Structure 1
Amino acid sequence: MPAPATSLDTLWFTRCPVPTATGIAADRGWLAAEFAADGLVVRSLQDAGGDVPRERHFTHALTGLFREGGNVPALWARAAGERTRLIGLTWIEERQAILIRAADRGRVAEPADLAGLRIAIPRRDIAIDFWRAMALAGFHGALAAAGLGLPDVVPVEVVAAPSAGQWIAELEALRDGRVDAVYVKGALAVEAAAAHGAVIGIDLDTFDDPTVRINNGTPRPVTVHQDLLDRHPDLVVRFLRVLVEAADWAGSHPDDLARILAAETGAGPAGVAGAYRGAGSSDLHLDLSDHRLELLARQEGFLRGQGFLAGPVDVAAWAAPEPLAAARSLAVAR
């Protein structure tokens, strides 16, 4: 039986600067409209100012918070003991690639060509270094496609300030000849690569096997605090229903979607077009299928093996499929 409902005046949401159903719903004003009649204020953690510490985007130490973002912080928070539940997963192809210097074009074209090369592994002094985790997972996936592993390359630590721009420290190391290859993903990476004269050596999007692209955003979880799910299960279902409807809407409004993605990612039209060629309705839909849960479980095992998690996370037990199933039955086309 769910716990009895208690007073609640604010629902919080947070999302990473990537394509999310949450970002679309927020842009369209649908989240605020959904809960207005209940007297609930819906606020973005990104717009909270000093009201709520921004670090809670990573720790999820806020019981009224919905989070749609990278799986590295989500798994890290769960492993550290935060009582969150997994209520959805998306899989969005977002231009994952291994970049090289233009002078090395042709010499690094297949995963096997990475053997013996110096690869950039960033380090940021932050609570959970998801940048480092992304680089390790990106190279792990690429190398695995050739039957190789991280011991077959030479990791080079690249120190970046916590507030450093995306991929800038790594791309500067590539430009300066300190490393031979850099893993990148997303819209800003497309723009940063062009600015630093880097080119794609290995396009991970071209591989049929999706396990090559398992990383921080693939699959990308939606999580909620157990306390909110226990005390206000109806609110969780309604929030998810809005996200389901937002994903439906995205599939038939490509121009509006491109505008929203530019605003969410901070990238220009070229970056968005280059990174999110497939960010349509099917990609933004939430799913808790066995297949997606297995992909996330692979990521959990990799992160734990690399020392990012304080303990194991049973992904199947973490998942709470009932709210999403209920949300789908309530959803209507917008």
Structure 2
Amino acid sequence: MTMINTPARPRPAAVTAEGLTKSYGDKAVLDGIDLHIPQGTVFALLGPNGAGKTTTVQILSTLIPASAGRVRVAGHDLVREAGAVRAAIGVTGQFSAVDNLLDARENLLLMADLHHLDRREGRRRASELLARFELTEAAARPVATFSGGMRRKLDLAMTLVGRPRLIFLDEPTTGLDPRSRRTMWEIIRGLVADDGVTVFLTTQYLEEADQLADRIALLDHGTLVAEGTADELKRQIPGGHLRLRLPGPPELAAAAALFPSAARDDDALTLDIPGDGGIPALRAVLDTLDRASVRAEALTVHTPGLDEVFLTLTGRSPQAGATVDSSRENAR
């Protein structure tokens, strides 16, 4: 029997944008960006302060209108079907939107009322989310007593009351300690893997994008300057190399003669060969060694980190500028 492998069908789009533009007077905050985000993926939008990240989220979530461009969100036209878009999405901003005067369960029940769930379904949904976010024991405590990590979990739980298909997370882990941040990462991964939710993430933590995102776009001065997987972006930046570790000095000398541009470390018995880490580069190195009968103990790929990508493409370090922008303040 002949087996026929059919290519996987592309996933439907959760977000598409063509020529998305936003201006305040003569100040262009977004300058005609294009987006295509498949359903059931995590998309991360990075950029320095003032790049237009939060403006993008505000437009896509119907909070402010675009100046120009065509956009579809969750299968609906952003302008003509804004109500349907709002019904399909959830938004968690940088600052928690929880009510400090209520306890955790009351906050969730309030959201259930806003989503017009009946009383029984609202209580069931609140209990389900408290358990999922490990907040059951704290359900009756005033939110004012919660830690930062607990508040962020409750804030995200409130976003999920209406079962959104697309969630905008605008700097979801800002101010959290490393442990709480990693807990949020696991929750976000679970939303995508278990619920099939699409996540649109803006973040100031490059490691966060590296860990979570299927695709990353880098926004600078309102323009998308790069987009791809984390590995694809890293390969765009000079500095990548293949490191060979040789068993002894004779093998190191023989390998060094084969690759004159490589950096040699006699103490570590290693050779760093410039390369992007792609399959053709790996194959070329291995074939050259094989033809010369030189045996290597190990070969590892070293690529620049996302922080180097950020610095090279924007001219600014992420620590100095990768924070949420305020579109109206930046437009002044």
Normalization by structure 2: what TM-score? 0.25
Instruction: Say which structure is richer in helix.
Output: 1
TM-score using structure 1 length: 0.25
Which structure: larger Rg?
2
Bigger proportion of residues as strand: 2
